[in-house]
Amino acid sequence: MIEWSPDLIQTIARRRCVIVIGAGVSKNSINDNGKRPDTWEEFLRQCSQEINDKACIEDLLQKKDYLTACDVIKKKLTKDVFIDKVQLEYQRAGYKSADIHSHIYNLDAPIIISPNFDQIYDNYASQTSAGTVIIKDHTSQDTANYLLGGDTRLIIKSHGSANNPEQLIFTRRDYAEARTKYVLFYEILKSLALTHTFLFLGCGTDDPDIRMLFEDIQFAHGRLPFHYMTLPSGEVHCDVLDIAKESMRIRFIEYSAEDGHKELTDSLEDLVIKVEQYRTDELRDSLKW
């Protein structure tokens, strides 16, 4: 079981934590056919099966240059075919929510950021909250209106959703275009990283947005509070983690990936209990939110 930092528990309890849920969270879901959502790499490899001349794609995937590989695949398949595959995999597959989604929801974080194209957590949160959750993406012009606190729950789809495939951030070109067209959105992310603690769940250290955002902030602003990221033990070499820790100010929380990452799900359930205890024992009596 993960030993959660008291500082993190306190920050979540005070609703000063932004939770980022990546593909690893969606992997807990399953549909009626027993299928789980593809990761970025799995989806690109599946798409490449329909391409005859794919030596370049295989080389890019081997180097984990997923952005460029996606550009090449999209061009070879054509935009319409690629979009249909995105929607078939991430919108029409009928994935159901899992226990991990309820634990994340029960942490009562004011802001959830999801780079996932699927809507698994979005649908769960909307249904559980009777439709009161606000969902915005990188193209939204009024996201800042929902950052003022209170009881608002905001979900930010940082790469877009499969139900609006024309606006997905998936390729290297998409990333470059988004940073130019949606400057305000990236300023909002930067502001959140300066004022909130981020907890990354099911994310990787190689996400382009994560690396650029936190490296920019670290070198521009110097000493800042640490953020947190859960990772399966041994997934990333310790030397790489040391560099990421210094350049991105992220503390890594390792756990066992055995039995379908069960330790992470169980630990999040334990975190919910600890956060609720803090809110009851500390905040209610002192009223110091």
pLDDT tens over the chain, length 289 residues: 999 999 999 999 999 999 999 999 999 999 999 999 998 899 999 999 989 888 999 999 998 899 999 999 999 999 999 999 999 999 999 999 999 999 999 999 999 999 999 999 999 999 999 999 999 999 999 999 998 766 789 999 999 999 998 899 988 899 889 989 999 998 999 889 888 999 999 987 777 767 777 777 766 666 567 899 999 887 777 887 887 777 777 889 999 988 889 999 999 999 999 999 999 987 666 555 5
216 in the same domain as 82: no
CA distance linking residue 70 with residue 38, whole number of Å? 14
111 in the same domain as 73: no
> pTM for the full model?
0.91
CA distance linking residue 154 with residue 140, whole number of Å? 13
271 in the same domain as 204: yes
> Are the C-beta atoms of residues 238 and 214 closer than 8 Å to each other?
no
174 in the same domain as 104: yes
The phi, psi pair for 94, rounded to 5°, reads 75, 40
Q: What is the DSSP string of the chain?
A: -----HHHHHHHHTT-EEEEE-HHHHTT-B-TTS--PPPHHHHHHHHHTT-S--HHHHHHHHTT-HHHHHHHHHHHH-HHHHHHHHHHHHTSS-PBP-HHHHHHHHTT-SEEEE--SS-HHHHHHHHHTTT--EEEETT-S-GGGG-S-TT--EEEETT--TTSGGG---SHHHHHHHHHHTHHHHHHHHHHHHHSEEEEES--TT-HHHHHHHHHHHHHH-S---EEEEEETTSS-HHHHHHHHHHH-EEEEEE--HHHHHHHHHHHHHHHHHHHHHIIIIIHHH---
210 in the same domain as 117: yes
183 in the same domain as 69: no
**Does any domain span residue 220?**
yes
**Residue-level pLDDT at 105:** 98
**Does any domain span residue 121?**
yes
Identify residue 188 by its one-letter amino acid code. I
**Residue-level pLDDT at 235:** 77
251 in the same domain as 133: yes
**Residue-level pLDDT at 133:** 96
Place of tokens 């990761």: 39
The phi, psi pair for 237, rounded to 5°, reads -60, 145
**Does any domain span residue 136?**
yes
146 in the same domain as 61: no
Q: Which domain holds residue 236?
A: 6-29+97-286
Q: What is the CATH number of the domain that holds 111?
A: 3.40.50.1220
Identify residue 157 by its one-letter amino acid code. K
| Total of domains in the chain | 2
**Residue-level pLDDT at 102:** 98
> Are the C-beta atoms of residues 199 and 225 closer than 8 Å to each other?
no
**Residue-level pLDDT at 271:** 98
**Residue-level pLDDT at 214:** 73
